Amino acid sequence: MEFNKKRLARSELIGLDVKIIESENRFNRGLKGKIIDETKNMFIIKTKETRKKIIKDQCVFEFKFNGKNIQINGKSLPIRPEERIKQR
């Protein structure tokens, strides 16, 4: 079964590599790192230099999973991680 955007949006995102493609905050564009924690409205991303708190609904994210890059609009992710996983 092919892993698509819908399945990725419903799975565990902590531990995935992520890049911010678009953001309302211009300083976040191009930011790369690993998701180390998640809340309903934010990702905490560990970059090479620091940890950043990123508001989900202001960004378009590119996740690296199984060698594929999958883009997801953060507006489709504002749900608690434990509730999102239950939606499977």
Where do the structural domains in the chain lie, given as residue ranges? 5-86
Q: Contact 13/48 with Cβ under 8 angstroms?
A: no
Alpha-carbon distance of 54 to 42, in angstroms, equals 5
Other beta carbons within 10 angstroms of residue 9's beta carbon come to 17
Q: What is the number of other CB atoms lying within 10 angstroms of the CB of residue 22?
A: 15
- CA pair distance 45, 7, nearest whole angstrom: 21
- Supply the CATH classification number for the domain 5-86: 2.30.30.210
* Helices and strands per DSSP (H, E), number in the chain: 2, 6
Share of the chain above pLDDT 70, in %: 92
pTM: 0.86
Whole-angstrom Cα distance, residue 77 to residue 12? 12
pLDDT tens for each residue of 57-86? 999 999 988 788 999 999 988 788 778 767
**Confidence grade of residue 1 (pLDDT, cut at 50, 70, 90):** very low
